Amino acid sequence: MNINKIIIDISEKNHIRLTHQRKKVIEILISNSNRHVSAEDIYTLIKDKDDNIGLATIYRTIKILEDKGILIRHDFGNGEAKYEFVMKEKEKHDHLICKQCGKIIEMAGILPENLNQKVLKEKGFYCKEFHLIIYGYCDECNNVRVNQSVHSKVKY
């Protein structure tokens, strides 16, 4: 199935009117589904292809796709939302973020299998999406840390 067919498929299944701009946004999202992209990223990637689009349109499109569950929004805590295209085939994964260098490492299979039932039973809550972010230190940064001192003596 080529990318054009996939896009048409998405738009029809989700009742999204397919404009030139929306097509471009979805195209970029699909071809970058291995990354986390911001609205600005999408904007730049489209501009790079000598295509014109307004940032506002991107924000509006993103919101629709998110509503439809086609796009997952991540807040990694730097004040900029990142988006990830949902591929059925792709394994769900969580994110490890280094507090020192900001690197994001993906890791799958962290959460237990039976979480949905557990949460439903205990809290009457129907789980749809699990967002687990683990903050800590990656290997390299941790080595630097232990060589220096972990507890800063800096006076504020």
**Which residue reads 């946004």 in tokens?**
25
Q: Which of 36, 42, 38 lies closest to 79 in space, CA to CA?
A: 38
CB of 106 to a copy of itself, least distance (A): 9
Shortest distance in whole angstroms from residue 26 CB to a copy of itself: 13
Which residues contact a copy of itself (rule: CB under 8 A)? 15-17, 64, 73, 75-77, 81, 96, 98-99, 105, 107, 110-112, 115, 118-119, 122-139, 142, 152-156
The owner of tokens 């039976």 is 114
Q: 103 pairs with which residues across the strands? A: none
36 binds DNA (CB under 7 A): no
Stretch that binds DNA, among 19-27, 89-97, 124-132, 136-144 (CB under 7 A): 19-27
Contact call for residue 56 and DNA (CB under 7 A):
yes
CA 130/CA 150 separation, integer angstroms: 32
Strand-pair partners of 85: 71
* Cα–Cα nearest to 29, from 70, 85, 67: 85
Strands 94-98 and 81-85: unpaired
CB of 68 to DNA, least distance (A): 12
Q: Minimal distance in Å, beta carbon 97 to a copy of itself?
A: 9
| Helix (H/G/I), strand (E/B), else coil: 153 | coil
Candidate segments 56-64, 114-122, 127-135, 143-151, binder of DNA by CB under 7 A: 56-64
Site for DNA contains 17 (CB under 7 A): yes
Q: Which of 4, 52, 117, 143 binds DNA (CB under 7 A)?
A: 52
Classify 74 as helix, strand or coil: strand
Which residues here bind DNA, judged by CB under 7 A? 11, 17-22, 38-40, 52-57, 59-61, 63, 79-81, 155-156
